[in-house]
Every structure is written in structure tokens, then in C-alpha cells.
Structure 1
Amino acid sequence: MKFQVVIEEDPEDGGYIVHCPALKGCWSQGDTIDEALDNIKEAIFGYLKTLNERAMHGLKSPDKAMIREVAVI
């Protein structure tokens, strides 16, 4: 799966913050862009794993969550 992510410089702490708009609340950070991208990949994996586990146990996904495939740029 591919997702678009938004990377911004962190003016307060240095480094970069990154989030995935398609996955509400899925954020990460890193000292470099590459580190931030590696970290958001892990965060996305964990987010999707949690959604899958909730679905397997019959738990409702929060806020009508939708998963869509997009390209990472």
C-alpha cells in the first residue's frame, strides 16, 4: 500500500514532523527526512495493524475510518 505523507520542518525542536492525512492521528518525526519517512512507515504499519485487529474482534473502527491507496511523494 502507498500513502501520501506531509513532511514539515520542526522550527521548535529541529528535525522533521510527518503525518499521513489519510490516517487520522497518524504522526511521527525524525532528525532527518529519511528518518522521519522510516518512522512514519512504522506508524502507518502499526495503525493499519490496529485497525485490522479491531475488525477481527468485531470492534467498530473509530470515526468511520477509511483506508485508501495513494502514492508517497
Structure 2
Amino acid sequence: MNLTIEIEQEEDGRFIAEVIDFPGVLAYGQTREEAFVRVQALALRVLADKLEHGEVTHSSS
């Protein structure tokens, strides 16, 4: 699974990263890398929750 992550710098200097595929999944960091790592971890938690609740379907290729 590939996730699209967008990172922008806020006016206060912090970075915000957002996973486009999961609305509302975003994280702040003091650096681009920190924001990136935090949003990846959050996306994995959201994905795990969706899997546990049967919300994710898969297709066989």
C-alpha cells in the first residue's frame, strides 16, 4: 500500500504532514522528518484499527 503524504511548513515554523488517503490523519513536527515519521506512525495505527474492524477490503491480483 502506498500512501500519499503532503508536508507544509506553518507560519510558526513547525511542519505539518497529512496522509491524503486518510482524511484527518495529520501530525506536526519541528522538522520535516519528524512530521513525516509521526504521520506515518499515525497512519499505521489508523490502518490497524480499520483492519481490526473489517473496514479494509483487499483485492487479489
Shorter-chain TM-score category? 0.7 to 0.9
Residue identity in the other structure for 1:38: V
Residue of structure 1 equivalent to 2:31: 32
Separation of aligned partners in 2, 1:53 and 1:38: 23
Displacement of 1:2 after TM fit?
Answer: 2.2
Q: Percent identity?
A: 23
Residue of structure 1 equivalent to 2:2: 2
Displacement of 1:3 after TM fit?
Answer: 1.0
Q: Give the aligned length.
A: 58
Once the two structures are superposed, the pairs formed by residues 14-25 of structure 1 within 5 Å of their partners are: 14-25=13-24
Separation of aligned partners in 1, 2:15 and 2:47: 23
Separation of aligned partners in 1, 2:37 and 2:7: 12
| Structure with the higher strand share, 1 or 2 | 2
Residue identity in the other structure for 2:18: H
Separation of aligned partners in 1, 2:51 and 2:18: 20
- Displacement over 2 Å in runs of 4+: none
TM-score by length of 1: 0.68
Matched position secondary structure for 1:18: strand
Higher relative contact order (CA 8 A, sep 6+): 1
Stretches of structure 1 lacking an aligned partner (at least 5 in a row): 56-60, 67-73
- RMSD across aligned positions (CA): 2.1
